[in-house]
Amino acid sequence: MTALQGPDATAQGPELPPPRGPVSADLVAWLRTGTGALPTCARARGAHPYGEDAQLALYLLYELHYQGFRTVDDDLEWDPALLSLRRALEESFLHALRADVRVSGGPDEAMESLLTEPAADSRTSVSHFLQREGHLWQLREYAALRSLYHLKEADPHAWVIPRLRGRAKAGMVAVEFDEFGAGRAEDIHSRLFADLMEDLGLEPAYGGYVDSAPAEAFATVNLMSLLGLHRALRGALVGHFATVEVTSPPASRRLARAMRRNRAGPAAERYYDEHVEADAVHEQIVRREVVGGLLREEPRLAPDVAFGIEATGFLEDRLGACLLGAWRSGRSALRVPLGPHTTASPV
């Protein structure tokens, strides 16, 4: 036990999931037993940056900064060897994103592109598909995957608050205050999503569907943590935040309709109804105060804001293509398919 540890320094989070390759296998074994060797940085950099092995390993390392894992010592959050491994995986992921994401203009152009709705027959628009023809089993799979983020909704973006000043900080805090329930625990958005999961007959425990998620789902969540945990990437995190808030109202409206059409339940409907209303207000605050305030204070971060917007869209499109490719073929999009929905649908 180190000097920083208390009498009970073990996290109370979820269990560690099974590994998906040599990097995550060595990492999981080390976290579980404290013995053996961690993957070398060279091996980490050699893993496919968007692949199952690298994305799961990166997700596990980031989770040490959130709820942690059962039987994993809380003090490992700042273990130098783990941070070194995380850095190697981050560098590979970020290098791939910078190579694949084409930023053709500044933040104004990128923000305007967010206001263009995807076509209803888009190969990547999950909300259009679910509104128009999605079945209850597909809504359940979507919720299970999104739980990787929504059960800690707004937490990754909170990292940027101490890194902002003036209007940007004030605007960010105003939006985050709403995300965290405006002072009411029962209205915290992660709590509302847990209620949605219960309506859908899903297990609402934090991290309950990690083993079901494909790499594409991990990548969307890992991007937030990557940007949030690095002060140098604060502009990109603001771009990510802007993307989430600007695109949320129309997508949430479609998802609310999908929930109603499938009689998913009142809590399932409420979650998306809440985002239609709240995020329409948040959009204006984010555009004028958070993005506008940041660029007034630090205009040199304009390319980073644009990159954050474009990188978010790139990874969301990859996830959308993964989900719709499976669903349109009549297949589950999950690595571990869900059990049957045993809760009776409301009438």
Other Cβ atoms less than 10 A from the Cβ of 330: the count is: 6
**What tens digit of pLDDT does each residue of 90-126 get?**
999 999 999 999 898 898 898 888 877 777 677 889 9
pLDDT at 342: 67
d(CA 115, CA 283): 11
Residue 9 has pLDDT above 60, yes or no: no
Residue 325 has pLDDT above 80, yes or no: yes
**What tens digit of pLDDT does each residue of 174-225 get?**
999 999 999 999 999 999 999 999 999 999 999 999 999 999 999 999 999 9
DSSP H or E run through 99: helix 80-100
Instruction: Name the nearest CA neighbour of 160 among 87, 98, 235, 247.
Output: 235
Residue 42 has pLDDT above 70, yes or no: yes
Residue 292 has pLDDT above 80, yes or no: yes
Average pLDDT rounded to a whole number, residues 290-296: 97
pLDDT at 1: 37
Task: Say if CB 204 and CB 151 are below 8 A apart.
Answer: yes
Instruction: Name the nearest CA neighbour of 97 among 211, 224, 234, 247.
Output: 224
Average pLDDT rounded to a whole number, residues 299-324: 97
N-terminal to C-terminal alpha carbon distance within the chain: 55
pLDDT at 125: 92
